[in-house]
Amino acid sequence: MLTRRDFLAGSTSVLAGAALGQQPAKKTLVAITLDLEMSRNFPTWDATHWDYEKGNLNDETKKYTAEAARRVKAHGGVIHFFAVGRVFEQANVDWLREIVQAGHPVGNHTYDHVNVRAQLPEEIQFRFNRSPWLIEGKSPAEVIRENVRVCSAAMKMRLGIDPAGFRTPGGFSDGLRDRPDVQAMLQGLGYTWISSLYPAHLVGDPGKEPDANVLDSIVAAQKKAQPFRYPKGLVEVPMSPISDIGAFRGGRWKLDWFLKAVRLALDSVIATGGVFDFLGHPSCLYVVDPEFRTIDMICDIVKKAGDQAALTDLGAIAKHPTA
Ligand SMILES: [Zn+2]
């Protein structure tokens, strides 16, 4: 005999779907990813010196990072971090070692936050424009490969771990589809998956509340932010718009506008099944969202979605690219 509990459980999943003639949506995998680097224009708009010292994290950024990790873990998830190698030049990395010990993965974000698509020396990174002797005699491709390699070496020496995947500094609307040479370089360094694609979408005029056009464009971009495999086997796990930098630097948005856009985007992915890869930067979020509202909201949405969504990391997502 069916108990009331059995009946209710059945009625809300299989039976309800069958009655409506619909397939239940695939479980949505949700990753919260934070890039550990300092961000131009934060904490104050005129701050640009970080361009030359991306890894010189300030205390506020480190505190925010640790508390964000604690909150997501309390919800049964992890944060997937990507660190620039210069973080490991700081005297003390105990705060990051504790985060790793709590089970949060840390991936490679290059040593100096270099543009992996650069083909001219001046396109690589600000630091090398000011101090060109650091890369003298090397081709951009050699500089970039070495910059990825030494980030892992630093991580190994300071944290005792290998990187959990690779994320390109900056996102590219088509990922690395047109750069098989860069894909091959990363595969040669041992990476099986990367995160480089950030689909194009509207942001609206700076300082203006996003209208329906902008929000629709962000929701529509979720379809282009689904994981896939490049022809030579490397897996891409894109970033899901809108990022904090896109909203607060690009759009000069207010926090409530950002929360609304992220909520609409995540809800739309949960409704259809797929992957959502939130991209944030503690160096920006501590300024614009000091109460962790974005991260708490994502955790709450996933919790309320029950069996339809789960918090995970990019490594787990990369095991099952959809295409
Ligand atoms: Zn970055």
Q: What's the confidence (pLDDT) of residue 19?
A: 43
Rounded mean pLDDT of the chain? 93
| Partners of 280 in beta bridges | 34
Q: Is 123 helix (H, G, I), strand (E, B) or coil?
A: helix
CA of 171 to the centre of ligand 1 (A): 9
What whole-number distance in Å separates Cα of residue 298 and Cα of residue 156? Answer: 31
What whole-number distance in Å separates Cα of residue 196 and Cα of residue 144? Answer: 15
CA of 215 to the centre of ligand 1 (A): 24
CA of 15 to the centre of ligand 1 (A): 45
CA of 321 to the centre of ligand 1 (A): 23
Bridging pattern class, strands 228-229 and 193-197: unpaired
Q: What's the confidence (pLDDT) of residue 322?
A: 75
Which residues make Cβ contacts (< 8 Å) with residue 131, sequence separation at least 6? none
Name the CA dihedral angle for 59, 61, 65, 68, rounded to a multiple of 10 degrees: 110
pTM comes to: 0.92
CA of 14 to the centre of ligand 1 (A): 42
Residues 104-115 have a mean pLDDT of 98
Cα Rg for the chain, rounded, in angstroms? 20
Q: pLDDT tens for residues 153-170?
A: 999 999 999 999 999 999
CA of 67 to the centre of ligand 1 (A): 20
CA of 223 to the centre of ligand 1 (A): 23
CA of 286 to the centre of ligand 1 (A): 16
Q: In the structure, what pLDDT confidence band is assigned to residue 320 with cuts at 50, 70 and 90? A: confident
- How many Cβ atoms sit within 10 Å of the Cβ of residue 105? 21
Whether residue 176 has pLDDT greater than 80: yes
Residues with CB under 5 A from ligand 1 (ion): 35, 37, 169
Q: In the structure, what pLDDT confidence band is assigned to residue 26 with cuts at 50, 70 and 90? A: confident
Whether residue 10 has pLDDT greater than 60: no
Cα separations in angstroms, 89 against 50, 56, 142, 151 = 15, 8, 22, 11
CA of 228 to the centre of ligand 1 (A): 21
Q: What's the confidence (pLDDT) of residue 25?
A: 61
